[in-house]
């Protein structure tokens, strides 16, 4: 099998070789494409890869499948609020070809709820000052069906406190990571 795969690969042109999976973690590479909110955060990608599993092709095209570890309470808490859980930890952040099970601790400030609260707070402030959005803020807006700009602008125009907006983070966080893993 591996020898036949090599023959096909060696006879393919450069464009065809790109489509033949070699040295690729398909799950990891899809997370790279989702959006900046997900793709720039190694821990978040590892947590999400642990939920859904991974399909990995070696340099000869050999297939390796890591089953998802499931949505346990510890994984969900770590994603949303921070905490300690077991994940597939990548050997490197570029390709993640040899992930291994490992315990990690996500700080509360690195949990999705805290990150989204920070972004919502920034969006609230920017809605009253007409400042440009960062790439991460734009990625958040695009990663959920919640009409974040409308909610933020309406709250600011009614002179509501920014805590009204940041309280939305607990509702947005699960939808954000779910939309990310459902595209894989």
Q: In this predicted structure, what is the pLDDT of residue 37? A: 59
State both tokens at 48: 């999400």
Number of other CB atoms surrounding residue 122 within 10 Å:
18
Q: How confident is the model at residue 98 (pLDDT cuts 50, 70, 90)?
A: very high
pLDDT digits (tens, 9 = 90+) for 15-42: 777 777 788 999 998 887 775 556 677 8
Task: Give me the chain's average pLDDT, please.
Answer: 81
Q: How confident is the model at residue 80 (pLDDT cuts 50, 70, 90)?
A: confident
Q: In this predicted structure, what is the pLDDT of residue 39? A: 67
State both tokens at 167: 């309280």
Would you list the DSSP string of 79-113? HHT-EEEEEEE-S-TTT--S-EEEEEEE-GGGSHH
* Strand 24-25 relative to strand 83-89, pairing: unpaired
Beta-carbon contacts of 11 under 8 Å, excluding residues fewer than 6 positions away, are none
Stretch (H or E) spanning 37: helix 36-39
Q: In this predicted structure, what is the pLDDT of residue 66? A: 95
Domain ranges of the chain: 2-110, 112-176
Q: In this predicted structure, what is the pLDDT of residue 102? A: 94
pLDDT digits (tens, 9 = 90+) for 156-165: 888 888 888 7
102 vs 70: which has the higher pLDDT: 102
Rounded mean pLDDT, 53-57: 94
On whether the CB atoms of residues 116 and 130 are closer than 8 A, the answer is no
């Amino acid at each position: 099998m591996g020898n036949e795969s090599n023959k096909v690969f060696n006879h393919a042109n450069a464009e065809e070789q790109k489509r033949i999976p070699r040295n690729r973690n398909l799950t990891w590479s899809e997370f790279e494409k989702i959006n900046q909110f997900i793709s720039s955060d190694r821990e978040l990608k590892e947590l999400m890869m642990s939920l859904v599993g991974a399909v990995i092709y070696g340099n000869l095209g050999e297939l390796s499948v890591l089953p998802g570890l499931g949505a346990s309470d510890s994984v969900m808490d770590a994603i949303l609020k921070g905490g300690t859980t077991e994940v597939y930890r990548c050997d490197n952040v570029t390709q993640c070809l040899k992930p291994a099970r490992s315990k990690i601790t996500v700080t509360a400030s690195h949990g999705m709820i805290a990150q989204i609260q920070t972004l919502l707070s920034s969006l609230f402030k920017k809605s009253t000052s007409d400042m440009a959005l960062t790439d991460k803020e734009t990625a958040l807006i695009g990663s959920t069906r919640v009409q974040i700009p409308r909610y933020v602008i309406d709250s600011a125009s009614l002179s509501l406190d920014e805590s009204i907006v940041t309280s939305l983070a607990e509702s947005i966080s699960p939808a954000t990571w779910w939309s990310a893993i459902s595209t894989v």
